[in-house]
Amino acid sequence: MYLTFEQYFEQYPDTDIEAENFESLEKRAETDINGLTFNRISAKGFDTLTDFQKSLVRRATAMQVKFINENSELLDSPLSGYSISGVSMSFDKSKTVNVCGVTTSNNVYNVLMQTGLLYRGLG
């Protein structure tokens, strides 16, 4: 687990997420973080990261938990957008990123970018 409920609560003290629901949200966020980082964390192990990287991964995981919680209905929908009676809804592409099938906010992606784990090159 990259993040405990207590660590999440420190970052978001006004959360509406219950402790018993947190684990499933954290697992989903962790899977998303692994996808965004090309499974570098799970391959090497979280404990092999530097303290700086661990801190950023925890922060990004907390942000992704919040993003998932707030947008789960849209994230789980197979629709990319919809319109009812002239009112349409879709993700603002300037505020979200979709990498390898993972949708997240630009903020989460920018935090992970600082870890060096998003590098797409070899070596």
C-alpha distance from residue 22 to each of 26, 27, 68, 117 (Å): 6, 9, 11, 25
Return phi, psi of residue 107, to 5°.
-60, -45
Ordered by start, the domain boundaries in the chain are 5-77+91-113
Over residues 16-73, the pLDDT tens digits come to: 999 999 999 999 999 999 999 999 999 999 999 999 999 999 999 999 999 999 987 7
Rounded to whole angstroms, the Cα distance separating 120 from 4 reads 29
Closest CA to 111 of 76, 71, 67: 67
* pLDDT at residue 77, rounded to an integer: 54
Please tell me whether the overall predicted TM-score, pTM, comes out greater than 0.95 for this model.
Answer: no
* pLDDT at residue 91, rounded to an integer: 61
Over residues 88-113, the pLDDT tens digits come to: 666 666 788 988 889 999 999 999 99
